[in-house]
C-alpha cells in the first residue's frame, strides 16, 4: 500500500485542503505517526505535522512559532524528497515545499495568513479525499472555533490525570 493512501492521511488532506483545520491535521497525523513510527522524530509524517502546526500558529498571529516550525517541516520534508521516501508518493511534494518556503517568507515579514493546498497527484488519493469531503463526516468549522481550537477543546480528562499524578507524589 502506498503510505499516503492510508485513511488517516486521506483525512489529513481533507482537513488541510478542504477545511484548513490545521489543529485536526496535527491530531490525525499524530495518530498515523504513532501507528507506524512512534518516537521517530525524523519521519516525514513529522514534517507534515509540523507544517500543519506552523499554519495554525501563523493564522493565530504567532509568527515566532510559525517560523520555527516551518523551518523544521521544510527540513524534514526535503530529506524525505531527497531520499525518495514513499511518504512523498501521491502528492506534489516539490510544490508543497515551495509553498512552505513562501509561507516562511511571509511569516518573516509579518504578513497575514494565507492558505495553500497540498496538491494531490495520485488519482486514488484524490478520489478518496473527494469522497470523504462529500460525506459531511468531517465538520467544517469557522471563526474562533477553527482559529482557537486548542483553547476550546475539552481537556478535563488531561487535567484529571495530572491531578492524580500530583496527588500520588504527596
Of the two residues 136 and 63, the one the predictor is more confident about is 63
Contacts of 102 (CB under 8 A, 6+ apart): 116
3-169 — its CATH code?
1.10.3450.10
- The separation between the first and the last C-alpha atoms of the chain, rounded to the nearest angstrom, is 50
pLDDT, the chain, mean: 87
For residues 126-149, give the mean pLDDT.
Answer: 74
Q: In angstroms, rounded to a whole number, what is the distance separating the alpha carbons of residues 55 and 65?
A: 10
pLDDT digits (tens, 9 = 90+) for 46-67: 999 999 999 999 999 999 999 9
Boundaries of every domain in the chain: 3-169
Sort 88 into a burial class: Cβ within 10 Å, 0-12 / 13-18 / 19+. buried
Whether the pTM exceeds 0.85: the reply is: no
pLDDT digits (tens, 9 = 90+) for 9-60: 999 999 999 889 998 999 999 999 999 999 999 999 999 999 999 999 999 9
Is pLDDT of 162 > 70? no
Q: In angstroms, rounded to a whole number, what is the distance separating the alpha carbons of residues 125 and 140?
A: 20
Q: In angstroms, rounded to a whole number, what is the distance separating the alpha carbons of residues 105 and 67?
A: 9
Contacts of 105 (CB under 8 A, 6+ apart): none
Amino acid at each position: 500500500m502506498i503510505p499516503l493512501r492510508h485513511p488517516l492521511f486521506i483525512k489529513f488532506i481533507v482537513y488541510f485542503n478542504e477545511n484548513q483545520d490545521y489543529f485536526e491535521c496535527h491530531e490525525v497525523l499524530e495518530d498515523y505517526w504513532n501507528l507506524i513510527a512512534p518516537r521517530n522524530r525524523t519521519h516525514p509524517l513529522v514534517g507534515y505535522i509540523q507544517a500543519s502546526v506552523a499554519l495554525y500558529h501563523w493564522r493565530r498571529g504567532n509568527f515566532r512559532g510559525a517560523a520555527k516550525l516551518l523551518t523544521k517541516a521544510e527540513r524534514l520534508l526535503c530529506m524525505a524528497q531527497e531520499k525518495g521516501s514513499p511518504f512523498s508518493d501521491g502528492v506534489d511534494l516539490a510544490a508543497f515545499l515551495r509553498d512552505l518556503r513562501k509561507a516562511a517568507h511571509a511569516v518573516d515579514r509579518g504578513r497575514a495568513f494565507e492558505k495553500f493546498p497540498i496538491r494531490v497527484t495520485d488519482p486514488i488519493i484524490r478520489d478518496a479525499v473527494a469522497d470523504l469531503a462529500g460525506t459531511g463526516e468531517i465538520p467544517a468549522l469557522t471563526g474562533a472555533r477553527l482559529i482557537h481550537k486548542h483553547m476550546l477543546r475539552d481537556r478535563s480528562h488531561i487535567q484529571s490525570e495530572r491531578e492524580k499524578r500530583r496527588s500520588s507524589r504527596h
